[in-house]
Amino acid sequence: MDKAFLIRPIAHIENDYREKFGIPRQSGIVPEQLSRIIFEPEYRNDEALRGIEGFSHLWLIWQFSEAVRGGWSPTVRPPRLGGNTRVGVFASRSPFRPNSLGLSCVKLCEVKKTAENGSVLVVSGADLMNGTPVFDIKPYVPYADCCPDAADGFSVDPADYSLRVNCPAQLLGLIEPAKRGALLGALRCDPRPSYQHDPERVYKMTFGSHTVCFSVDGNDLTVTDIFPEPRCTAANDNSRT
């Protein structure tokens, strides 16, 4: 069957992840990170959200908008397997997929009414880049969506690669107090590709309107500088599992 279906974004996300490098590789592992889901004008209807506050978590169906390609590959190289081992694309969460669709579970913190954008969903734990288009939102239903005995294949528990983050107080003070936990959480998840282990290398990631520079030696990540800059042009590879 050769069919094409047109789907339109119903919303987009706003947060401090301005580029791929530094975004948590899965949803929920940095709960300190708050994001806002802004509905597109034609979907700003409070009736469409009636009853949503009764659910603690939501599923987001979205697009890896920075990874859209003309073709696709049946195999990918997950970074947590070292970047050299290939697995089937449908056995991975790689962004390089036939339809470039992502699926994330987030916690609903608040339905906030705004004058500019109507009702906005404030969520925590999102692993989406700022501006990512959202195609659908569905409630997370524990009895149907939770599988306690599920096998996790080759995926890695975040605790296995959690880093100790050392950030001088004078540098951390440059970040808004409400956002410091989210920054430290993202750094704790080790933003580097797993095949890079050079303790002398200085990495750069953007977080909100700041560039954060850091190095990693063993399990210790040290922030070396934070400075205001809306975009970071450093070439970093952050393929996601």
pLDDT at 241: 39
Confidence of residue 236 (pLDDT cuts 50, 70, 90): very low
Q: Within a 10 A sphere around the Cβ of 232, how many other Cβ atoms?
A: 19
Residue whose token pair is 């294949």 = 153
Backbone angles phi, psi at 158, to 5 degrees: -55, -30
Cα separation values, 75 from 91, 93, 103, 192, 240, Å = 9, 11, 19, 22, 14
Average pLDDT, the chain: 89
Residue whose token pair is 């069919």 = 3
List domains and CATH numbers for the chain.
Answer: 11-65+100-145 (2.40.30.70), 158-228 (3.30.2310.20)
Over range 229-237, report the average pLDDT: 47
Confidence of residue 232 (pLDDT cuts 50, 70, 90): very low
Q: Within a 10 A sphere around the Cβ of 12, how many other Cβ atoms?
A: 18
Per the model's pLDDT, the better-predicted residue between 61 and 84 turns out to be: 61
pLDDT at 194: 74
pLDDT tens, position by position, 43-72? 999 999 999 999 999 999 999 987 777 788
pLDDT at 156: 66
pLDDT at 230: 53
pLDDT tens, position by position, 100-141? 999 999 999 999 999 999 999 999 999 999 999 999 999 999
pLDDT at 222 over 70: yes
DSSP sequence for 194-227: TT---TT--EEEEETTEEEEEEEETTEEEEEEEE
